[in-house]
Amino acid sequence: GTSCGAPPNVSHRRYINSRLLSQSALKAAFAILGNHYEVVSHAYRAMGAKIGRRVYWPGSGIYCPDPELLEIGDDVVFGSRSEIFTTVDRLGTARVKIGSGAMIADRVVLLPGSTVG
């Protein structure tokens, strides 16, 4: 399920995100609007993430089922096919923080609890 023992407000947000803002729906929207630009940042902010300014997102998009656990500073650049996981079954759920000015290289995988920069 989407609750994973989370507080009710987090469970509700996860449910809404999974139904209305699914990964496939986001990818389709970003394919039209552009997947590297500010529209992606606005979408993740609306889902609860803390996203800085001038973030250059990976063209492949990211998978982040718990956007409220994502914190990205200003001027961050993602390489192609970067992945961010805030929840992994065997590792649990934890915040992922990426500091201002960080560069996440191609094919990097950030796991729950990761801090970069």
- Residue 1 resides in a domain: no
Say how many domains are in the chain: 1
For 27, 29, 30, 71, 72, the CA distances from 33, given in Å and listed in that order, are 10, 6, 5, 23, 21
Residue 71 CB: number of other CB atoms within 10 A? 15
- DSSP structure class, residue 43: H
- The range of the structural domain enclosing residue 39 comes to 8-116
- Residue 59 resides in a domain: yes
- Residue 31 resides in a domain: yes
The whole model's pTM is what? Answer: 0.77
Residue pLDDT, tens place only, 14-47: 777 666 666 677 677 767 766 667 888 988 898 8
- Residue 96 resides in a domain: yes
- Residue 88 resides in a domain: yes
- Residue 66 resides in a domain: yes
17-26, 44-53, 100-109: segment of lowest average pLDDT: 17-26
- Residue 2 resides in a domain: no
